[in-house]
Chain A
Amino acid sequence: DQQVKQNSPSLSVQEGRISILNCDYTNSMFDYFLWYKKYPAEGPTFLISISSIKDKNEDGRFTVFLNKSAKHLSLHIVPSQPGDSAVYFCAASAQTGANNLFFGTGTRLTVIP
């Protein structure tokens, strides 16, 4: 029973354009959401997070949007760079903070130079 879903296994974007990665969740108790980025042969690294009291959080080229009513969040990367090519995991927690994380299956982003 996948509580966090990333329905697009892969995404290709031209360098300089916007990358939009999507994530849906089913558990209405989730109130803290994170995005992790993973390069091959490395562990996931934290990218950006958002609490359910907000609908947007921005950090440089990365912005996460949260739509609680739709149980949907998205990660926008603009402009996309070749170094952004990686697998991106969405994760959610049912408490403020991130002790017990539920991960999606990941989206492989390829930024084409």
Chain B
Amino acid sequence: EAGVVQSPRYKIIEKKQPVAFWCNPISGHNTLYWYRQNLGQGPELLIRYENEEAVDDSQLPKDRFSAERLKGVDSTLKIQPAELGDSAVYLCASSLSPDEQYFGPGTRLTVT
């Protein structure tokens, strides 16, 4: 069974530029999560989807971050414009039941 797929794996951009991350969850998983993990910290939830509906986006900085999950499968997370403090690993996870979340390998973003 294929795991959670994320791309790109690494991204380096200059500040004020836009960037987008893509996630393909495990087939059949209707819950999808985006996390941000800063260096030396644990993952922090940005947004959670149940199918195509964002059910928890309270931690998403809405002035510059946006996300979508059209058709309730793939998802994209966008930052526009990026700031130096956005440098982090962005993790996508999916789950079939509330019990276990399966994480992708993450996208390491460096903003210069």
Write the residues of chain A forming the contact surface with B, with a CB cutoff of 8 angstroms.
4, 9, 34, 36, 41-46, 49, 89, 91, 95-101, 103-106
Contact = CB atoms under 8 A, between A and B. Distances in A.
A99 B105 contact: no
11 contacts: A34-B100, A43-B106, A44-B91, A44-B103, A89-B43, A91-B42, A97-B99, A98-B99, A98-B100, A99-B98, A106-B42
Main secondary structure of the interface of A (DSSP, over half): loop
A4 B99 contact: no
B98 to A, nearest CB: 2
Contact of A95 (B98, B104, B105): B98
A104 B42 contact: yes
Contacts of B56: 99-100
Given A42-B105, A43-B104, A103-B42, 12 more contacts: A43-B93, A89-B42, A91-B42, A97-B97, A97-B98, A98-B98, A98-B101, A99-B48, A99-B56, A100-B45, A106-B40, A106-B41
A103 B98 contact: no
Interface of B: 4, 31, 40-45, 48, 56, 91, 93, 95, 97-106
Contacts of A95: 98
Nearest to A44: B103
Nearest to B6: A43
A100 B48 contact: yes
B60 to A, nearest CB: 13
